[in-house]
Structure 1
Amino acid sequence: MAVWPCLVNFSVPSKDSPGILAEVINERPGGGRRNTVKERKILGVLFVPHDLQLWIRFVITVQKWGSCTFHCYYGMLQWDGSVNGCNANAVILLQYKGTVIRLIPPLMFVTKRVFASKSGALNVKYDMNDPMAEENHATLIPIERANGRFLFVAAEDDQN
């Protein structure tokens, strides 16, 4: 199904004072597809740009897809996508077909911080070193230099 262009206005109201903390208009270009997403109690719509398929094929071939996607976003023009990953290059150097894409040192983890919950699931919330600590700043992916737009959504405590 073809998707028509549209504008969506996102705003964040202030709890403490009248007014808006932040506001942005997201413009969706024409073309692409509109996919309905149904999974258990979740119902939503995913708008897929016409050129996203090529990027998805590339991204899923790389195990570190969160870091890889941030790198792609940082290096490419006018590419919109969804990212679920760390804002640092985590654990290993980012490579594609044996070539290091950007020389950003990996953020390391400490296995002693991993523990099992009562159900036996591993909790890895505390295993990574803090990417915002001064000694780890070199591991951060420079997304502030990206030419695209971002909408950040973060869970309060997802234990990961």
Structure 2
Amino acid sequence: MNFKDPTGNILTDFTEGAKKGIWMALFNLTPNFVMAFTLIQILNLTGCMDILSNVFSPLMGIFGLPGEAGVCLVTGWLSCPGGIATMCSLAESGVITGKAVAQLIPMIYLFGGQLQYTGRILSIIKMPGKYYFPTYIIGFLCMIIVGVIMRFVVAMF
């Protein structure tokens, strides 16, 4: 969809901004939420969620989170909105608590979308491939640090 440049007329610019927001919600965010909900349902129905929970439990235990929270981080690594949607789906079904959500949000933001951004940004600027892995590791380490900090912050409230 083509959008107009700002005109200086507040009413016209507001209307164009609202159109952009609706467009983004319908065609960017909604598919991520549908994908995340579907993924969680498939994982639950096939029993894979139990397997993933056991796999992620040691890492998530560092943060005081259930193993299922690891699925949020993996989907978040692929797509930040997908990770948030997965987290919302798990919270809605009662698998994770509100405190876990507060803890996961900054972790997903720090680690989220790295795979997407590699294709969108790093390859476009022709960053040498040897720098991709360190970029991923730095994001992962930041996520770990924030997860530990948030464990204590959330415990205070």
TM range (shorter): under 0.3
Q: TM-score, normalised on structure 2?
A: 0.25
Is the helix fraction higher in 1 or 2?
A: 2
What is the TM-score when the length of structure 1 is the normalising length? 0.24
> Counting strand residues as a fraction of each chain, which structure ranks higher?
1
- Greater RCO (Cα-Cα under 8 Å, separation 6 or more): 2
